[in-house]
Amino acid sequence: MTAAKDSRRVAYDTIRAVNESDAYANLLLPRAIARSGLDTADAALATELTYGTLRRQGTYDAVIRIAADRSIQEIDPAVLDVLRLGVHQLLSTRVASHAAVHESVELARSAGSRGAPGFVNAVLRRISRETPGEWMERVAASARSDDERLGLVFSHPVWVVRAFRRALAAEGRADELEALLTADNASPRVTMAALPGLASIPEDARHTPYSPLGFRLGGGDPERLVTQSGGTLRVQDEGSQLAALALTRASPMAPGERWLDLCAGPGGKTAVLAAEALLHGAALEANEVSHARAGLVRKAIAGVPLEVPVSEEDGRVRAGEGRYDRILVDAPCTGLGALRRRPEARWRKSPADVPELTQLQGDLLRAAIGGLRPGGIVAYVTCSPHLAETAGVVGEVLRDIGSGIEELDAREVLRSMSGSDPGLPAQKDGSGRAQLWPHRHNTDAMSITLLRRT
């Protein structure tokens, strides 16, 4: 087998497992690559084919539906995945058309019924006769509404398009919707953090614009740097760094403060909090309800010479009454702000997930507020810009509690620590919530609200 053929096979097997068994591409693919012994270039090709196909699946299905003149549900799922991978090569890569069609037909021979190779050949040939631009026009013309058009062209479920539109409109930036959808379809560059007081940003690295800890490598292997530094240099999204720092830098830190990271797993933000606590003489505790993820938290903070107890309780009861000066609630959420990281994630979520999550988010936030001393601060963070999970949860909790809580200006806190102005427009509801965006900040779409118990 040629190497490119191997890359396609690895990509196909991974896509199949993701679509058939709900597997995660980012966990499966590295193992499949190692098993098949692909070299670096072919591993990169397999990764591009897998991630690109899964991300753009919504668009490709629309193209296949038109070219095959039948609904996607009528196509054998194993053959449909062959077609998706083939369409990706035809419309989004520089792979020669004849190679893309030929290799897809070969895959169909092993994947589908006797008629599958002929069907794949006919559909892909039809698709290869028009340019990607022409296909996008046909796909757009098949939509029944503007949101559906955006969903098909930018490969997002329509409910996600709507949630993004509303969240951008809440800050008067609805016109950025296409830029956001485009950013979701590109792989994020690796961003790293140097834990404050424990590591410095390497001299040859480029500082990120907003987080004082953040940097990107010009080249080299991030994982090697993580190992060599004992975990004091870490891979971490810049928005995640900012969320942890928003809590510690919302007010001057004083020795003897008690901090709690209520939903800590896998521990990215805990590591930043631990380094800040060590520098400023605070005590930090972490909590994570999942045993496996609590283990990841312990690993994440191993490089910080501070004793951080990690409990494994339900955060709705863990915070107790009036004990802490700062609490981070990095709540479980739909993760709609990190769609560029997990290529299949957008197809796994549904609007039905939202009410259950917002209930839990509200309960966690209420419990955290109860756990604050007077003057204590809670940072309520989601890796989702969905208004129900952000402004909705905060608004409802504040209404329930009635008085004794003031909101701080999270946008101002971020501005004060950033090297460049993060460009955070005011929220129309008048809140101080900071919303980061992939297209504007090159971060995950983190929402950060800071509340102080008065």
Ligand X SMILES: C[S@@+](CC[C@H](N)C(=O)[O-])C[C@H]1O[C@@H](n2cnc3c(N)ncnc32)[C@H](O)[C@@H]1O
Q: Should residue 449 be labelled a site residue for ligand X when binding is judged by CB under 6 A?
A: no
Q: How far is the CB of 170 from ligand X (least distance, A)?
A: 21
Gap between the Cα atoms of 109 and 307, Å rounded: 58
Q: Should residue 289 be labelled a site residue for ligand X when binding is judged by CB under 6 A?
A: yes
Gap between the Cα atoms of 221 and 233, Å rounded: 12
Q: Should residue 263 be labelled a site residue for ligand X when binding is judged by CB under 6 A?
A: yes
Q: How far is the CB of 131 from ligand X (least distance, A)?
A: 41
In one-letter notation, the amino acid at residue 125 is: R
Q: Sign of the CA dihedral 61, 95, 182, 208?
A: positive
Q: Should residue 245 be labelled a site residue for ligand X when binding is judged by CB under 6 A?
A: no
Of 156 and 318, CB closest to ligand X:
318
Of 267 and 376, CB closest to ligand X:
267
Q: How far is the CB of 235 from ligand X (least distance, A)?
A: 11
Q: How far is the CB of 267 from ligand X (least distance, A)?
A: 5
Of 147 and 330, CB closest to ligand X:
330
Catalytic, out of 331, 383, 434, 451: 383
Stretch that binds ligand X, among 43-51, 64-72, 258-266, 432-440 (CB under 6 A): 258-266
Of 82 and 242, CB closest to ligand X:
242
Q: Should residue 200 be labelled a site residue for ligand X when binding is judged by CB under 6 A?
A: no
Gap between the Cα atoms of 61 and 236, Å rounded: 33
How many residues bind to ligand X according to rule CB under 6 A?
Answer: 19
Q: How far is the CB of 357 from ligand X (least distance, A)?
A: 9
Q: Should residue 265 be labelled a site residue for ligand X when binding is judged by CB under 6 A?
A: yes
Q: Should residue 373 be labelled a site residue for ligand X when binding is judged by CB under 6 A?
A: no
Q: How far is the CB of 313 from ligand X (least distance, A)?
A: 7
Of 127 and 262, CB closest to ligand X:
262
Q: How many angstroms separate the Cα of 83 from the Cα of each of 100, 139, 145, 246, 425?
A: 10, 16, 26, 46, 43
Q: Sign of the CA dihedral 258, 264, 269, 274?
A: positive
Q: How far is the CB of 137 from ligand X (least distance, A)?
A: 39
Looking up tokens 């008065």, which residue turns up? 454
Q: Should residue 356 be labelled a site residue for ligand X when binding is judged by CB under 6 A?
A: no
- Indicate if 333 belongs to the active site: no
Task: Tell me the two tokens of residue 409.
Answer: 């200006």
Q: How far is the CB of 323 from ligand X (least distance, A)?
A: 17
Task: Tell me the two tokens of residue 220.
Answer: 């080299």
Q: Should residue 293 be labelled a site residue for ligand X when binding is judged by CB under 6 A?
A: yes
Each residue 5-44 as x (binds ligand X by CB under 6 A) or -, in order, gives ----------------------------------------
Q: Should residue 266 be labelled a site residue for ligand X when binding is judged by CB under 6 A?
A: yes
Gap between the Cα atoms of 214 and 411, Å rounded: 18
Of 232 and 287, CB closest to ligand X:
287
Each residue 377-396 as x (binds ligand X by CB under 6 A) or -, in order, gives ------x-------------
Of 147 and 238, CB closest to ligand X:
238
In one-letter notation, the amino acid at residue 289 is: V
Q: How far is the CB of 262 from ligand X (least distance, A)?
A: 6
Q: Should residue 238 be labelled a site residue for ligand X when binding is judged by CB under 6 A?
A: no
- Tell me which of 268, 303, 376, 422 binds ligand X, using CB under 6 A: 268
Q: Should residue 314 be labelled a site residue for ligand X when binding is judged by CB under 6 A?
A: yes
Q: Should residue 97 be labelled a site residue for ligand X when binding is judged by CB under 6 A?
A: no
Q: Should residue 202 be labelled a site residue for ligand X when binding is judged by CB under 6 A?
A: no
Stretch that binds ligand X, among 110-118, 142-150, 192-200, 311-319 (CB under 6 A): 311-319
Residues near ligand X (CB under 6 A) are 240, 263-269, 287-290, 293, 314-316, 330, 332, 383
Which residues are known to be catalytic?
383
